[in-house]
A and B are shown apart, each in its own frame.
Chain A
Amino acid sequence: MDLAVLEELNAERAARRAVVVVTELGSGRQRLVKAADIAADPLAEQLAEALRTAKSGLLTLGNERLFLAVEVPPPRLVITGAVHIAQALAPMARLAGLDVAIVDPRTAFATPERFPDVEVHAEWPDVVLPRLSIDAYTALAALTHDPKIDDPALIEALARGCFYIGALGSRRTHATRLDRLAEKGVPREALARIHAPIGLDIGAASPAEIAVSIIAEIVGELRRRPAADKRASGQAA
């Protein structure tokens, strides 16, 4: 591999953009294809499929064996609400391999003391989320119960195609939330992507148990990849 290719690869990874490195195993020839350039590539169909499944693998073309190295951004969890559930959810998510960021404009909640070693932003979601460039490799858990904080985050997450979007609250709270978001112009079919009440139904009672149900639901969306199809076409999950 040329150092220039490797550095381009590292730069794309740092910017949380997906790429595929195509290597001809016979000749050692190599090229890097950015996600944005795949449609124009001779292997467009195969590269798109590799990106969709996020799986690296071999491809045989005539006599040539190619290796497609798919490099997608590491999964990330953004939580609105520096609340009790978040205190349990953040370390669990990190153990499960997700990068974690917490957003809560209430400075009494969003403190480093309550969230040691976690990226905490004591700002409004509509200010900080564009900067975090949340994407299809990001999960959003809205945990504040406060529409002023959760609603803008949910709208941004839906617009950005986050692979998982969950919101805390009872069915009745959620019905009200759906009406509110619809009034703000979010299409009903997009709203169906929100998991609410958040988390798998395991009868969770304590904040830690609710965190378990949420992380399990997120892993389910991450690993059972059919959701990727729906994300790509903007359908409801």
Chain B
Amino acid sequence: MASGLAGMSTAREDDVLEAAARWRHEGRGVALATVVETWGSAPRPVGSHLVIDEAGSFLGSVSGGCVEGAVVAEAAEVIADGAPRLLEFGVADATAWQVGLSCGGRIAVYVEKLN
């Protein structure tokens, strides 16, 4: 049944997961990033997804734009060696000065390869 929502511009979580499966079927190397923990005022809730392909294309969001660049870079490694990684971003973290969460929160992101 048509949902009538096809014209909405916001990528819904199910679109992200469906894109992940579709991309894999197209033969692309694909990684799935998921927010697994948040502290303070994190921009995206636990369970939010970002799907990344080997070329660095991505869909979805784990932080509303703050750390997507860093997650995409790590995802390339995950796609290459197949080992999942748990990444943390936050103001107390040195890397945060580079990739910065402007809101002052912290997030943990699990990145896994889609096999």
Contacts and interface: CB of A to CB of B under 8 A. Distances in A.
B20 A74 contact: no
B93 interface: no
A99 B114 contact: no
A67 B4 contact: no
A151 B84 CA distance: 53
In terms of DSSP, what is the predominant structure of the interface of chain A?
A: mixed
Contact of A10 (B4, B21, B47, B84): B21
Given A2-B115, A13-B14, A58-B36, A67 B3 contact: no
Contacts of A9: 17
B46 to A, nearest CB: 5
B7 interface: yes
Given A25-B86, A70-B47, A74-B12, A117 B17 contact: no
B14 A74 contact: yes
Given A1-B32, A28-B84, A6 B114 contact: yes
Contacts of A118: 4
Contacts of B114: 1-3, 6
Contacts of A74: 12, 14
Given A9-B17, A28-B84, A119 B47 contact: no
B11 interface: no
Interface in A1-41: 1-3, 6-7, 9-10, 13-14, 23, 25, 28
B45 to A, nearest CB: 8
Contacts of B63: none
Contacts, number: 72
Given A55-B46, A67-B110, A119 B1 contact: yes
B65 to A, nearest CB: 20
A111 interface: no
Given A9-B17, A67-B36, A74-B14, A99 B3 contact: yes
Interface in B89-115: 110, 112-115
A94 interface: yes
Size category of the binding interface on chain B: 20 to 34
Size category of the binding interface on chain A: 20 to 34
B34 A119 contact: no
Contacts of B14: 10, 13-14, 74
A87 interface: no
A219 to B, nearest CB: 16
Interface in B44-96: 45-47, 83-84, 86
Interface of A: 1-3, 6-7, 9-10, 13-14, 23, 25, 28, 55-58, 67, 69-71, 74, 94, 99-101, 117-119, 132
19 contacts: A1-B112, A1-B113, A1-B115, A2-B114, A3-B25, A3-B115, A6-B17, A23-B110, A23-B112, A25-B36, A25-B86, A28-B84, A67-B34, A71-B13, A74-B12, A74-B14, A99-B3, A99-B5, A119-B4
